Amino acid sequence: MKEKITNQALRLLKKEGLKSFSMRKLAETLAIDPMTIYYYFKNKDQLLAELVDVVFRKFYEGLRLEEGRTNHKEQLESVLIEYRSFFIQYIDLSLYLIQSPNEEYPAVKILNDLILDLIKASHPYEDPELTRDILIDFIHGNALSVSNKPRKGSKVKVKENQKDPFQESLTILFHRLFYNTRLT
């Protein structure tokens, strides 16, 4: 039943958004007594923390990191690009996560540690923890700006010989953080 509640909560959160999400609405969509949800989760925050953990574990398990691949910057870039897509896909849950930064979420820590390990292996120009925080904030800011725009299609249209604006910005940021150079 707990898995059924979390799965429905994710669907409802995507459909209704964080502001409209409530335990009562969740119970109604499941056709159960609200107290059933409270049997598994003491409050809405505990349920949302469980959702954060569930989706981040799925994301982490779904990462396609090639073992033995020596170019750590390419791996880092790949993780960051996938994280941006994930963040946009679960925008309301991501907003909840940003709004509660003092909470420790084990699956989020695993992802942050992976990013930090890749940064350390890539030899950043600045402090690795600072570099991680800058990159993650860049991803969050970019994902939020994209998610707030009205979308006609699911992807930004890029001309054939033109780079995706996000990837272009990420490349510039990488040059600054790892080589202390600017691209002109």
Question: Looking at residue 33, which CATH number applies to its domain?
Answer: 1.10.10.60
Check residue 158 and give its pLDDT. Answer: 42
> Whole-angstrom Cα distance, residue 119 to residue 116?
5
State whether 113 and 66 are in the same domain. yes
What's the average model confidence in pLDDT over 12-36?
A: 90
What's the average model confidence in pLDDT over 4-32?
A: 91
pLDDT at 73 over 50: yes
In which domain, by residue range, is 21 found? 1-42
State whether 11 and 97 are in the same domain. no
State whether 91 and 175 are in the same domain. yes
- 165 in Cβ contact with 156 (< 8 Å): yes
- 114 in Cβ contact with 167 (< 8 Å): no
How many domains is the chain built from? 2
Q: Label residues 66-83 b or e (16+ Cβ within 10 Å = b).
A: eeeeeeeeebbbbbbeeb
Check residue 103 and give its pLDDT. Answer: 66
Residue 18 lies in a domain: yes
State whether 90 and 19 are in the same domain. no
Q: Which amino acid is at 61?
A: E
State whether 71 and 157 are in the same domain. yes
Q: State pLDDT tens for residues 84-102.
A: 888 888 888 888 877 776 5
Residue 73 lies in a domain: yes
State whether 26 and 61 are in the same domain. no
- 177 in Cβ contact with 170 (< 8 Å): no
> Whole-angstrom Cα distance, residue 128 to residue 122?
9
pLDDT at 125 over 60: yes
Check residue 152 and give its pLDDT. Answer: 43
Cα 20 to Cα 9, 88, 107, 122, 149: the distances in Å are 12, 18, 25, 42, 20
Residue 184 lies in a domain: no
State whether 61 and 28 are in the same domain. no
Q: Which of 77-86, 93-102, 122-131 has the lowest mean pLDDT?
A: 93-102
Confidence of residue 116 (pLDDT cuts 50, 70, 90): very high
Dihedral sign for Cα atoms in the order 76, 81, 84, 85: negative
State whether 147 and 63 are in the same domain. yes
- 5 in Cβ contact with 44 (< 8 Å): no
State whether 91 and 109 are in the same domain. yes
State whether 115 and 133 are in the same domain. yes
Rg (CA), the chain: 19
State whether 35 and 82 are in the same domain. no
User: Tokens for 36?
Assistant: 């059933």
- Look up the pTM and report it: 0.78
Last residue of a domain, one of 27, 42, 57: 42
Q: Tell me the pLDDT of the chain averaged across its residues.
A: 82
State whether 70 and 36 are in the same domain. no
